Amino acid sequence: MIHPKINNIIADLIGEPLQKIKARGNYSLNNELLQSPLTETDSVIRFFCHACGLCVELNQEALDELVNIYKLNKPADLTGLFLEASSCEFCSQAYVNLKFSSL
């Protein structure tokens, strides 16, 4: 289930709640995309899911929400980092093995 707060943020952005993405598994990291500059002015980090291949930019509010919900230790400097998970709330019940990783 997508966390209600996260789904509310998504609904505010795109006008409707998000539906589940079909997880096919074993998606590979796209290093070129992960290393490219963030495209949105309020984005602070990218997130990648290995189960469904979702790769999105997160703003500070979304990042803080994930850090709080999943009790992550957020580095002071996010430069050269991204978030990754084995699966996420968009394709599964919850984020699994959510962690900060180096590019």
68-80 confidence digits (pLDDT tens): 999 999 999 999 9
How many structural domains comprise the chain?
A: 1
Q: How far is CA 60 from CA 57, 67, 83, in A?
A: 10, 10, 13
**Strand spans (E) along the chain:** 43-49, 55-59, 81-85, 99-102
Structure tokens at 37: 């500059």
pLDDT of residue 21: 66
- Domain of 95? 4-102
CA 17/CA 81 separation, integer angstroms: 28
User: pLDDT tens-digit profile of 4-54?
Assistant: 666 667 666 666 555 666 667 788 888 888 889 999 999 999 999 999 988
- Whether 1 has a pLDDT exceeding 90, the answer reads no
